[in-house]
């Protein structure tokens, strides 16, 4: 997890997403719902910052939903290693400010 966002979601997308992700649910821990990794979502962001709140130690800044990627399989999605490379490549991208 690298953050949370509702930016970029229309009411229609939120309704569709809630229904579809409920079908993929494997367990819940309080408000967190874990799902089978069968969907790829494209998320845009303006930068990265260090974060003690997320296991990776990074958080997306100004994250927003772009679209669900029907053309990509889960194994084609970016990984945390990709995000760490982005953080390391951008001067000041992983600052805490």
48: closest CA among 81, 80, 86, 78?
A: 86
pTM of the full structure: 0.76
Q: What is the pLDDT of residues 57-82, one digit of tens each?
A: 999 999 999 999 999 999 999 999 99
Closest CA to 41 of 82, 86, 71, 81: 71
**pLDDT recorded at residue 90:** 60
Residues of the chain with pLDDT under 50: 95-97
Which helix H or strand E contains 88, and what residues bound it?
A: helix 80-89
Helix (H) or strand (E) holding 20: helix 11-23
pLDDT at residue 9, rounded to an integer: 86
Tell me what pLDDT residue 91 has: 54
């Amino acid at each position: 997890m690298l953050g949370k966002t509702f930016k970029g979601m229309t009411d229609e997308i939120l309704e569709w997403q809630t229904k579809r992700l409920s079908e993929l649910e494997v367990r819940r821990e309080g408000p967190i719902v874990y799902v089978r990794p069968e969907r790829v979502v494209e998320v845009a962001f303006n930068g990265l910052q260090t974060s003690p709140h997320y296991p990776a130690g990074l958080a997306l800044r100004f994250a927003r939903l772009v679209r669900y990627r029907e053309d990509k399989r889960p194994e084609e999605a970016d990984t945390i290693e990709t995000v760490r490379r982005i953080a390391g490549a951008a001067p000041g991208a992983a600052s805490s400010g």
